[in-house]
Amino acid sequence: MALAACQEAPPKPQTGGLFPDVGNYQPANLPPKAQLTPTEVRYDLLVKLQTEMMVTGLSCKEEFNDPIIFRTFSQWVVNNDDRILDTQDKLGKLLGKYNKGNGARLFDTYRTKMANDESQRMQRMTQGAYCLARKDQFAEVVTYTPQQLDDYLNKSYELLHARYNEVGAKTQTAAAPTDKAAAAPAVKPKKKP
């Protein structure tokens, strides 16, 4: 018994100070040729977070023993409505660059696919396991100030932005330029006749 007390606890998973990445998220619902800036990746990560919170709020009332969990989620959305609406508008415009149609409608389709993916993830895990995995995230995120939400999205970006590149040529994330020279577009050499 004394020996067990002397053992070190196993190291925590490397999550960058974030919650566990339930289901190994991949940005699969973006258009195949989409090229995202770091800011656009953060927009996608906010929609991802909102979707996780929504599915949790809709599905985990019994597991959390919280009859008003969806109302809590709804209040979080109201508290962040300007940011969420701006993000939806900007992602709709991004989607419109790659697909025909109205940006708002394209965004609705995009969000529906993301929500369906999250719901399927919950079904594969079982509802109880999903709710347990999301419990700490939900409880903390609903209390975030705008600055804390920014910090969360920045940490998420640092942890997950490579997944946008890992989709290969389908989705490339532009690296943030470090100075004005790096921000200038590269000049393509002229083709010889």
The residue-averaged pLDDT of 163-167 equals 50
Q: What is d(CA 38, CA 46) in angstroms, rounded to the nearest whole number?
A: 12
Q: Which residues contact 86 (CB under 8 A, 6 or more apart)?
A: none
Neighbours of 171 (CB within 10 A): 22
Angle ∠(43,182,86) on CA atoms, nearest 5? 20
Any residues with CB less than 8 A from the CB of 156 and at least 6 apart, and which? 16, 18, 42, 45, 48, 49
Per-residue pLDDT at 83 exceeds 60: yes
Quote the tokens at residue 17. Answer: 């100070």
Asked if the model's pLDDT at residue 182 lies above 80, the reply is no
Q: What percent of the chain has pLDDT over 90?
A: 45
58 has pLDDT over 90: yes
Predicted confidence (pLDDT) at residue 71 exceeds the cutoff of 60:
yes
Residues 68 and 61: their CA atoms lie apart, in Å, by 7
Q: pLDDT-derived band of residue 125, with 50, 70 and 90 as boundaries?
A: confident
Q: Are 19 and 156 in contact, with CB atoms under 8 Å apart?
A: no
The separation between CA 137 and the C-alpha centre of its own chain, rounded to angstroms, equals 13
Q: What secondary structure does DSSP assign to the chain, as a single string?
A: -HHHHHSPPPPPP--TTS---TT----TTS-TT-EE-HHHHHHHHHHHHHHHHHHHHHH-HHHHT-TTHHHHHHHHHHHTHHHHHHHHHHHHHHHHHHSSS-HHHHHHHHHHHHHHHHHHHHHHH-HHHHHHHHHHHHHHHTT--HHHHHHHHHHHHHHHHHHHHHTGGG-EEPPPPSSHHHHSPPPPPPPP-
Stretch among 4-8, 139-143, 162-166 having the lowest mean pLDDT: 4-8
pLDDT of amino acid 171: 42
